[in-house]
């Protein structure tokens, strides 16, 4: 299942509660960064489950259990919407996952596939993601339902997440360049037009991936696609924060070292992390 929403049609014209975002670690920052840019007045509560990362090599049952606990954690912070900024969760949760949720919920797969199909115009789409996401077939199925003639080639890239979490994200990092070449050379040879970065960690490697694939391949960032959707959805539902509320605040929660998270997050965000980073126990 890629996306579920329980639309709460509100009579309010604004809603100052925070937006909740979660991922197994740093990957959801790709959605966070875009949300911050699009919606500067929104408060954001971010949870990175760094103590149990990676999700992408776990069984479907475990992924669903972790995702339920992550959602419960965010609900304790009175969020108005939850974004599963995690391809692995989005691709593996069942259709009824959000049946009893009191706030709208979205994953990343639906919006990413729509953006990729629009960019590919019936051409050839490559999908890279975690082993659990590729195994689910979620991206492939949705692309074919949106655009049956589109050719799809998928590849799991299990080492990308540990590279990102270790901070190996610089364009000239020789280890990352080597791993990128190893995983992506079949996709480069197959002549894809569009490459879906189907794990939200992967856009942190976009420079290295882009350099290797070349300018003719359009990269689609799954975190960014979900953030764009969230902006439109909150606006349509009258759930945006009020304009006179003042600048949005950030609160980051992680289930392992706050210091390690802050270090790599700052490199990716291009500035010192703004807001408190707290370590919590979840699940
Ligand atoms: N960033 C996540 C995803 O989009 C999870 C990566 C992982 O924990 O393996 O798939």
pLDDT digits (tens, 9 = 90+) for 99-153: 889 999 999 999 999 999 999 999 999 999 999 999 999 999 999 999 999 999 9
- 161 CB near ligand 1 (under 6 Å): yes
228 touches 118 (CB < 8 A): no
Distance 14 CA to ligand 1 centre (A): 32
Answer yes or no: is 9 within a domain.
Answer: no
For residue 91, pLDDT beyond 80: yes
**Among 200, 204, 255, which is best to mutate for testing ligand 1, by the most ligand atoms less than 8 A from CB?**
200
Residue 249 Cα distances to 35, 38, 86, 149, 252, angstroms: 12, 14, 22, 44, 10
Helices (H), 100-236: 109-120, 131-136, 138-146, 160-165, 174-189, 206-213, 222-236
pLDDT, averaged across the chain: 94
Q: How far apart are CA 115 and CA 127, in angstroms?
A: 13
Q: How far is the CA of 130 from the centre of ligand 1 (A)?
A: 6
Structure tokens at 203: 């856009």
Measured from the CA of 91, which atom of ligand 1 is nearest?
10
Whether 7 has a pLDDT exceeding 50, the answer reads no
Looking at the fold, whether 213 and 158 belong to one and the same domain comes out as: yes
Residue the block writes with tokens 């992506």? 184
Give the pLDDT confidence score for residue 129 in this predicted structure.
Answer: 98
Q: Is residue 129 assigned to a domain?
A: yes
The answer to whether residue 123 is domain-embedded is: yes
Residue 228 sits in the same domain as residue 99: yes
Distance from C-alpha of 161 to C-alpha of 143, rounded to nearest angstrom: 24
Alpha-carbon distance of 9 to 239, in angstroms, equals 9
Q: Whose CA is nearest to atom 2 of ligand 1?
A: 86
CA of 89 to the centre of ligand 1 (A): 8
pLDDT of residue 13: 86
Q: Are residues 66 and 194 in the same domain?
A: no
pLDDT band for 28, please (50, 70, 90 cuts): very high
Q: Give percent of the chain with pLDDT exceeding 90.
A: 92
pLDDT for residue 10: 47
Does 6 reside within a domain?
no
Tally of domains within the chain: 2
The verdict on residue 145 lying in a domain is: yes
- Can you point out the beta strands (E) in the chain? 19-23, 44-48, 81-84, 105-106, 124-129, 151-156, 194-197, 218-221, 250-254, 276-279
Whether 259 and 216 share a structural domain: no
Q: Is 189 a catalytic residue?
A: no
Rounded percentage of the chain residues whose pLDDT exceeds 70: 96
Catalytic residue among 86, 113, 117, 157: 86
Residues 195 and 246 grouped into a single domain = no
Q: Which atom of ligand 1 is nearest to the CA of 24?
A: 8
DSSP-H helix ranges across 103-159: 109-120, 131-136, 138-146
Q: How confident is the model at residue 11 (pLDDT cuts 50, 70, 90)?
A: low
Count of Cβ atoms closer than 10 Å to residue 11 Cβ? 5
Atom of ligand 1 nearest to the CA of 88: 10
Mutate to test the pocket of ligand 1, among 27, 155, 220 (most ligand atoms within 8 A of CB): 27
Looking at 203, 222, 241, the residue that finishes a domain is 222
Tell me, yes or no, whether 2 lies in a domain: no
199 assigned to active site: yes
Q: 83 in ligand 1 pocket by Cβ < 6 Å?
A: no
The residue out of 205, 222, 239 marking a domain boundary is: 222
Residue 68 near residue 61, CB atoms below 8 Å: no
Domain boundaries, position 164: 109-222
Count of CA atoms in the C-beta half-sphere (13 A) of 4: 17
Q: What is the mean pLDDT of residues 47-68?
A: 98
pLDDT in tens, 158-203: 999 999 999 999 999 999 999 999 999 999 999 999 999 999 999 9
Q: What is the DSSP letter of 272?
A: P
In a domain, 190, yes or no: yes
Condensed to tens digits (0 to 9), the pLDDT of residues 231-281 reads 999 999 999 999 899 999 999 999 999 999 999 999 889 899 999 999 999
Residue 14 covered by a domain: no
- Domain CATH code at residue 88: 3.40.50.1860
Same domain, yes or no: 241 and 179: no
The one catalytic residue in 113, 117, 157, 199 is 199
Say whether both 47 and 151 belong to one domain. Answer: no
Q: What is the reported pTM?
A: 0.93
């Amino acid at each position: 299942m890629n996306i579920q929403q329980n639309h709460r049609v509100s009579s309010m014209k604004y809603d100052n509660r925070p937006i909740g975002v979660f991922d197994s670690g740093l990957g959801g920052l790709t959605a966070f960064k875009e949300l911050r840019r699009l919606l500067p007045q929104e408060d954001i509560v971010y949870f990175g489950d760094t103590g149990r990362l990676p999700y992408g090599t776990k069984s479907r049952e475990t992924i669903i259990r972790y995702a339920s606990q992550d959602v419960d954690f965010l609900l304790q912070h009175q969020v108005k919407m939850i974004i599963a900024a995690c391809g692995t969760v989005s691709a593996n949760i069942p259709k009824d996952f959000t049946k009893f949720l009191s706030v709208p919920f979205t994953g990343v797969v639906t919006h990413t596939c729509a953006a990729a199909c629009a960019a590919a115009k019936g051409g050839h789409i490559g999908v890279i993601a975690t082993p659990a996401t590729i195994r689910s077939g979620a991206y492939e199925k949705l692309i074919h339902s949106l655009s049956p003639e589109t050719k799809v080639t998928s590849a799991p890239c299990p080492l990308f997440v540990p590279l990102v979490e270790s901070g190996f994200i610089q364009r000239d990092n020789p280890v990352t360049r080597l791993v990128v070449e190893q995983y992506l050379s079949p996709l480069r040879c197959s002549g894809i037009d569009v490459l879906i970065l189907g794990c939200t960690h992967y856009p942190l490697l976009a420079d290295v991936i882009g350099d290797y694939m070349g300018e003719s391949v359009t990269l689609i960032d799954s975190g960014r696609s979900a953030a764009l959707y969230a902006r439109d959805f909150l606006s349509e539902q009258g759930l945006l924060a009020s304009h006179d509320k003042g600048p949005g605040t950030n609160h980051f929660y992680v289930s392992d070292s706050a210091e390690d998270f802050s270090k790599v997050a700052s490199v990716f965000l291009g500035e010192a992390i703004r807001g408190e980073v707290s370590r919590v126990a979840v699940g």
